[in-house]
Amino acid sequence: MHLVGELSAVLATALFIFALYWMNDPKTARRGVIAGVVGMTVAVLATWIQPEIIHHAWIVGAIALGFVVGVPLSRVPLTAVPQRTALSHAFGGLAAGLVGTAEYFLWRGGSATAEMTHFRMSALAAEVILGFLTFTGSLMAAGKLQEVRWIPQRPVTYPGQNFVNIGVLAIAVGLGVAVAVHPGAPWAQQAFLVIAALALIFGVLLIIPIGGADMPTVISILNAYAGLSAVAMGFVLDSKLLVTAGALDGSSGLILSIIMCRAMNRSFTNVLFGAFGKAQPALAAGEQKEWKQETVEGAAQLLEQARNVVIIPGYGMAVAQAQHKVRELYDALTKRGIIVKFAIHPVAGRMPGHMNVLLAEANIPYSALVEMDEINPEMPQTDVALVLGANDVVNPAARYNKGTPIYGMPIIDADKAKTVLAVKRSKKPGFAGIDNELYVQDNTWMLFGDAKAVLSDLVKQFGSGGIH
């Protein structure tokens, strides 16, 4: 039975690696998802059949409860996938934290079979700290993404905040070191509970100063933390499978975080401590410029006369669930021989790949999706740039205004197109809290309204023969 478990662990690990590899390409992404599901099923069954595993009835009950929670979570709309992803990280962190806590107190009670060495106790302390901070941090991130009323969407900052955050973490780590050195000391149990409490508090403190614009990076960082907590849990439980699976999870989250930070031209420390999204003072009255508004009929005529159109999707498209209307507009334009491309910014939306997922749901050809670095050289030759709810990722101020929180962030060069049509619900700024200079340019025309409604009206113009 032990040999079967070892071979199953190798098979599950291989499937996890292939899952990550296949998900690099949209053509093999479905295969990657299947490989990941099969790998996790093999891992669970291989663990379950081990002779040291007892209380099978409790395990069946836990799995059943997992299905009760998991099935509804799998059916959320695509616009809610970012917060659902954050919740998944929360559950993973909570599991790691609870397992570590249970393992320690079982050992203190004499029920644990493994010896609590200094190394294992160090891994256990790391598991609890990473697990519990991931739990509360992910819940806060999910709340911000869901726009829960009692969780502020803007960054919450106060004097000495970084000192407080680092202090809380340092105390938790210091106590973890003390417990690792003296795991059986009389005071160690109380210290362990304090470690868990500080980790829970730190998770909240870590997320409240971070604005919604940084959520894609935050989600990937939390993914890395969850993976690292799983690695530590693998060392505690002497599970090679947990170590390898957690390492894959943690490293992929770290790599993704690096990609996200590069896309915003920011560092990890700047994301975690920079309060990106802090509201900026409004421009003085003398500096305000006029927003020029266009009618749907006029916008349809501009699109009809274009030879090439670049559509730039953003969170506004996601909120309006307008991706299917985007597909209808895409079909209407391409039938007229107009070349249509989609410019994808790495941090558009609220999670990595958010726009790719939404457009894939609407069956937009993947060949029409172009990354920021590839589309920018084409923007000066673009007849019409259609901006759908994107804000900070097309703001020209990022190039030169050092006083803005988005300064230095690479953007899609929508402002360089011959004509810009910007669809926006209101004149409110984006998550970075600053006005978008693109909207007051001479070549920009605004289409105010819900993205789905505006696109629906545009499609009707093409379908009704109303364009002359």
At 61-92, the pLDDT tens digits run: 888 898 898 888 888 876 677 888 889 999 99
pLDDT given for residue 395 in this prediction: 92
- One CATH from 3.40.50.2000, 3.40.50.1220, 3.30.470.20, 3.40.50.2300 for 294-463: 3.40.50.1220
Tokens 């599991």 correspond to 95
Judge whether 392 counts as a catalytic residue.
Answer: yes
* Sequence spans of domains, the chain: 76-273, 294-463
- Does the pTM surpass 0.85? The reply is no
Q: How far, CA to CA in Å, does 145 sit from each of 211, 214, 270, 444, 449? A: 10, 11, 20, 29, 22
Give tens-digit pLDDT for 347-356.
Answer: 887 777 889 8
Instruction: Choose, from 392, 413, 415, 435, the residue flagged as catalytic.
Output: 392
Measured in whole angstroms, how far is the alpha carbon of residue 381 from the centre of its chain?
Answer: 33
The pLDDT value given to residue 74: 82
How many residues are there in the chain? 468
Q: Which helix (H) or strand (E) holds 386?
A: strand 384-388
Query: Which helix or strand (DSSP H or E) is residue 308 part of?
Result: strand 308-313
What does the pLDDT profile of the chain (468 residues) look like in tens digits? 667 778 888 899 999 999 999 988 777 888 999 999 999 999 888 888 777 676 667 788 888 898 898 888 888 876 677 888 889 999 999 999 999 999 888 888 776 656 778 898 999 999 999 999 999 999 998 888 887 777 876 778 888 888 999 999 999 999 999 999 998 888 999 999 999 999 999 999 988 887 666 777 788 888 899 999 999 999 988 888 889 999 998 998 888 888 877 777 777 676 666 555 554 444 443 355 678 889 999 999 999 999 999 999 998 898 888 999 999 999 999 999 999 999 999 888 777 788 988 898 899 998 999 999 999 999 999 999 999 988 888 999 888 887 777 788 889 999 999 999 999 987 777 666 678 889 999 999 999 999 999 999 999 998 755 454
- Pair of tokens at residue 33: 């998802």
CA distance 123 to 113: 17
Please compute, for residue 202, the number of CA atoms within 13 A of its CA located in the half-sphere on the CB side: 27
pLDDT of residue 285: 39
Q: Which of 149, 126, 155, 134 is nearest to 90 (CA)?
A: 134
